[in-house]
Amino acid sequence: MPTDKQRRAAERRRLQRQARRRRERAARRKRATLITSIVGALVVVAVVVFVVVDTSGDSSTPAAKGSTSATATPTASATASASASASATSAAAAYPCTWTKSGTAARKVDVPPTTTPTRSGTLAMTVKTTRGTMTFTLNRAEAPCAVESFLSLATQKYFDKTPCPRVTDSGSLYVLQCGDPTGTGSGGPGYTFNDELTGKEKYTAGVLAMANGGANTNGSQFFIVYKDSTLSPNYTIFGKVTKGLSVVDKVAKGGNDGSNQAGGGHPKLSISLTTVREQA
């Protein structure tokens, strides 16, 4: 029969075994928690990487910035990213208009004469080019500031004898870029104005939209969509080509020299705006 000393020794060993098992269980729980944390962190990193890749593909070299950007038109985008849509909605039409001095004007002009232009009705412009004549119908209700700026520049003959420096004809982007007297895709009127966006813009054939170099950097450059295109809703739509869109089709079919890193290039069948005037 075990003595008291033996019983106490056995009890100590039992307690030691229990303590050891508790330490082992605690160590296993700690390892499990650490592994779970690492897996969670990896999932977060994976999601962030996906979002960054998806967004950057959508927004690189977006458009022409007032008078300083070296790029002139939007890049093609298979889908409009959620962040781009949110940005577009938050930038929705600031009115009255704000004409902000920016860079050196490609051709000297005054800023538009008013910051509170008419916000209703349409305005027809006759646009004569070296390849034929078009009619632009501008929508004051949709983009009063963009329309006021375009009309002001046209009245001051800013667009007269200006080459259209870029056409795209591949992917999901089909546009002709115009509005820069320098013909380089980097010229502007010496001022910028804010975007007029809803976040629901669709760039279908005939649409006229402002080129830009980021939010609220509209100047004089614009693009004509000659075939339905997929773009994020970041470009202010200010009207449509209601007559003569075949002029742009003809230029696009002539191809381009592929000189623009964002896609497309100078049209091989060159085209210039000769006069842009409001219809009587």
SS3 139: strand
pLDDT tens track for 44-88: 333 322 222 222 222 323 344 333 343 344 665 433 333 344 343
Q: What is the pLDDT along the chain (280 residues), one digit of tens a residue?
A: 667 666 666 666 666 666 667 677 767 766 655 544 444 443 333 332 222 222 222 232 334 433 334 334 466 543 333 334 434 333 445 799 999 999 999 999 999 999 999 999 999 999 999 999 999 999 999 999 999 999 999 999 999 999 999 999 988 999 999 999 999 999 999 999 999 999 999 999 999 999 999 999 999 999 999 999 999 999 999 999 999 999 999 999 999 999 998 889 999 999 999 999 999 8
**The whole model's pTM is what?**
0.72
Q: Compute CA distances 78 → 4, 74, 276, whole Å.
A: 84, 13, 33
Q: Specify whether the CB–CB gap between 221 and 188 falls below 8 A.
A: yes
The CA distance from 98 to 17, in Å, is 79
- Ramachandran sector of residue 263 (left: φ over 0; alpha: ψ -120 to 50; beta: rest): left
